[in-house]
Amino acid sequence: MNQRLLLIFLFIFVPFASAFTITDFSPSLYNPNDTPAMDAALGITGYTIEDFEDTTLVDNLAIEYSTSPGALQTSIPQVHLTPFNTEWDGSHILSNDINNNYGPPTANIVTFHFSQGVDSVGIGVGEFDRLNHSLLVNGVVVALFNQTDMPGFEQVINSGPGGFARNVYVRIDAEQGETIDSIAIDISNSTERVQFDHLAFTGNAVPEPSSLSLFALTIFLSGLVRFCVR
Ligand SMILES: [Ca+2]
Ligand SMILES: [Ca+2]
Ligand SMILES: [Ca+2]
C-alpha cells in the first residue's frame, strides 16, 4: 500500500466511523402482561427504563422542551394518565408539554439528554396522527416517522379515547466508538400532541469514546504509514 492509497483510505474510513443503527418495532409487540417478554422482543432486556409512572426521572436522564430551550428537566411536574392507549408500560406517559398536560401549549421538539453518553436508546411513541416527524440523534436527523423509514410504524388518525394509538417503538444503537448524548423527536413539520413511554437506555460510555477510538485509529494508521513508507 502506498502513501496515496493510505490517505484515500483515511478519508473514506474516518467519516464513516460514526453511525447509528435504527431498528423499529410494530405496536403489536406491546405486551402489558409480560414486560420482560416485550423487552426481549424489543432488544432492550437489562436496559434502564423510565416508565413515567412517577414524577422522578431515572439517573442520567434530563428532558428539554423547545418551549423552554436550554432548561433541562430532571423531574416532571405531574404524571399523565393516558386515555388513548399510548402507554408502553403502566398507565402513564410523557406528553410533549413541559407541564406534562395534554397540550396546548405543546413543544415542537422534545429532547432526551443523557449526561453520561449511552450506547443504545429505545422509546415508544404514540398519538402521532401525522407522518414524517423527525427522529434526531445528537442533534442530527436519522429517520422520519413513516412506513418508509420505519416499516413497523402504524399510523392511527383521530383514534380518540380508547382508540389504538401506539405508533412504533424505535431503538437506536450506537456503532462501536460512537456515543448517544441525546435523542429528540421534532414534530415541527406538523405540530400536534404526541406521547412517549418506556424510554430505555444502556451503556455508560467512557468519556469521549469517539475521540479515543479516533485516537487509537490515528496511532494505528500512523504506524502503518511509517511501516509502508519504510
Ligand atoms: Ca408508562
Ligand atoms: Ca420515573
Ligand atoms: Ca396527536
Map the chain to HEC letters. Answer: CCHHHHHHHHHHHHHHHCCEEEEEECHHHCCCCCHHHHHHHHCCCCCEEECCCCCECCCCEEEEECCCCCCCECECCCCCECCCCCCCCCCECEECCCCCCCCCCCCCEEEEEEEEEECEEEEEEECCCCCCEEEEECCEEEEEECCCCCCCCCCCCCCCCCCCCEEEEEEEEECCCCCEEEEEEECCCCCCCCEEEEEEEECCCCCCHHHHHHHHHHHHHHHHHHHHHC
The CA 106 to ligand 1 mean position distance, Å, reads 19
Does residue 13 have a pLDDT over 80? Answer: no
pLDDT of residue 156: 83
The CA 175 to ligand 3 mean position distance, Å, reads 32
Q: Where are the domains of the chain?
A: 19-206
The CA 62 to ligand 2 mean position distance, Å, reads 11
Mean pLDDT of the chain: 87
pLDDT of residue 103: 76
pLDDT of residue 215: 52
The CA 78 to ligand 1 mean position distance, Å, reads 13
pLDDT of residue 190: 87
The CA 91 to ligand 3 mean position distance, Å, reads 18
- Report the percentage of the chain scoring pLDDT > 90: 70
Q: What confidence tier does 104 reach under pLDDT thresholds 50, 70, 90?
A: confident
Other C-beta atoms lying within 10 Å of the C-beta of residue 95: 23
The CA 127 to ligand 3 mean position distance, Å, reads 4
Ligand nearest to the CA of residue 130, numbered in listed order: 3
pLDDT of residue 152: 96
The CA 91 to ligand 2 mean position distance, Å, reads 12
The three cell numbers of residue 172 are 437506536
Which residues lie below 8 Å from residue 230, measured CB to CB, with a gap of 6+? none
Ligand nearest to the CA of residue 126, numbered in listed order: 3
Residues whose Cβ atom is located within 5 A of ion ligand 3: 127, 129, 192-193
Q: The whole model's pTM is what?
A: 0.82
Does residue 224 have a pLDDT over 60? Answer: no
Q: The CATH number of 19-206 is which of 2.60.40, 1.10.3470, 3.40.50, 2.60.120? A: 2.60.120
Q: What confidence tier does 105 reach under pLDDT thresholds 50, 70, 90?
A: confident
The three cell numbers of residue 100 are 406534562
Place of cell 474516518: 14
pLDDT average, residue stretch 103-111: 89
The CA 171 to ligand 3 mean position distance, Å, reads 21
Dump pLDDT digits (tens) for 39-93: 999 999 999 999 999 999 999 999 999 999 999 999 999 999 998 899 999 999 9
The CA 21 to ligand 3 mean position distance, Å, reads 26
pLDDT of residue 229: 60
The CA 168 to ligand 1 mean position distance, Å, reads 15
The CA 173 to ligand 1 mean position distance, Å, reads 22
| Helices 3-13 + 209-229 axis angle, to 10 | 170
Dump pLDDT digits (tens) for 126-183: 999 889 999 999 999 999 999 999 999 998 877 666 667 899 999 999 999 999 999 9
Q: Kindly tell me the sign of the dihedral angle through the C-alpha atoms of 133, 208, 120, 57.
A: negative
pLDDT of residue 173: 98
